Structure 1
Amino acid sequence: MTTAVETRDPRSRVAPDVWEREVRLIMRDHGTDRGLAERTFGQTIAYLVTSVERPDVRMGPAPSVDLGLHSFVLDTINYTAFCNAVAGHYIHHVPHLPQENVSQAPSLRETVETIKAAGFTIDHELWNASETDCSQCHAGCTDSPVGGK
């Protein structure tokens, strides 16, 4: 028997004014239209929320989603408030470098499957299937090797 997962709306995880600000920052910083910026920020929130809820899964964003993550991280007041509300602590972002041990890098496929299982809709265009071995974060963006929680 298959259990249905309730679809979750990433917009419900941030205040409307924060949503608007982050979308506008993505538009400004990456030259995207509103539709793509909203999709990017929605997938960013889905990724962050899921990474907090599933610390047992090594997760990392696709490059397109990482653009939204970087914009959000740089808006430190809003990002820190989000982290405290969702995780109770700052959610560190430690990018993975190509020369680092690839076997320790999170699987993009597993990241997408985990986000989907958490009830968020996946934007397949932003989670480019050809990037299946991409990783941008250490320990699912839930902890830092230098800072702790």
Structure 2
Amino acid sequence: MTNTVEELTGQGLIPGELFGRLVNRIAKEHGMPREFAARIMDQALAFLRACGERHRAPLGPSELVDIGWHTFILYTREYASFCERVAGGFIHHTPNDDGMSGTDPEKLIARTTEAIRSLGFAVDDELWLTFMVKCSDGDDGCRASGKDGNENTDTNGK
């Protein structure tokens, strides 16, 4: 008998009804099959869960996974509640129009997918292959917002 460990899914982090609404929005707005949109949303949720952990270096989504993050942010109440539950505070999305200076995109994606895997989540490697780092998870790794929700206030007691 072989013991197998079942990997977690990002989809399991939110109610099915909300997941369905997010997937439908992605499919409609980006003209893609619902199944592909579901994969994107699943990975975005797993990424955000990884952002809830302390990391020495920042994490960042692939271009495709970022679509899921953008979509979830539109549902502000649900997104804020999710962030509080998985990260203990709001996870701000910080666009980085000039790219992350000094950050090797391949290393960033490798670090991010390893963080997701380390929590037991499945990584859909195809969604992490081609990317452009257009955003970061905050200057202090995913926890860029203060206790009051103001991204300009301290989060880590520095």
Tell me the TM-score normalized by structure 1.
0.82
Aligned to 2:148: none
Aligned to 1:109: 110
- SS of the residue corresponding to residue 66 of structure 2 reads helix
Q: CA deviation at 1:135?
A: 5.5
State how far apart, in whole Å, the 2-side matches of 1:95 and 1:112 are. Answer: 20
Aligned to 2:92: 92
Q: Cα distance 1:147–1:34, how it changes in 2: closer, same or farther (>3 A)?
A: farther
Higher relative contact order (CA 8 A, sep 6+): 1
Residue 59 in structure 1 maps to residue 65 in structure 2: no
Q: CA deviation at 1:127?
A: 0.2
Structure that is richer in helix per residue: 1
Percent of residue pairs bearing the same amino acid type: 32
How do residues 41-52 of structure 1 correspond to structure 2 at under 5 angstroms? Answer: 41-52=41-52
Aligned to 1:134: 133
How do residues 119-130 of structure 1 correspond to structure 2 at under 5 angstroms? Answer: 119-128=120-129, 130=130
Unaligned residue ranges in structure 2 (runs of 5+) = 146-150
State how far apart, in whole Å, the 1-side matches of 2:92 and 2:99 are. Answer: 21
8 Å CA contact 2:23–2:38 kept in 1: the answer is yes
Tell me the C-alpha RMSD between the 2 structures: 2.5
Q: CA deviation at 1:134?
A: 3.0
Tell me the TM-score normalized by structure 2.
0.78
Q: CA deviation at 1:21?
A: 1.0
Aligned to 2:74: 74
Q: CA deviation at 1:147?
A: 4.1
State how far apart, in whole Å, the 1-side matches of 2:83 and 2:62 are. Answer: 20
Q: Tell which deviates more after alignment, 100-109 or 119-128.
A: 100-109
Unaligned residue ranges in structure 1 (runs of 5+) = none
Read off the aligned partner of 1:134 and give its amino acid letter.
V
Measured against aligned partners, the alpha-carbon deviations of 1:81-130 in whole angstroms (never above 9, x if no partner) come to: 211222222111102222652349771121112212221111111101x5
8 Å CA contact 1:50–1:115 kept in 2: the answer is yes
Q: CA deviation at 1:141?
A: 2.4
State how far apart, in whole Å, the 2-side matches of 1:61 and 1:14 are. Answer: 19
Give the length in aligned residue pairs: 144
Q: Tell which deviates more after alignment, 88-97 or 38-47.
A: 88-97
State how far apart, in whole Å, the 2-side matches of 1:31 and 1:58 are. Answer: 31
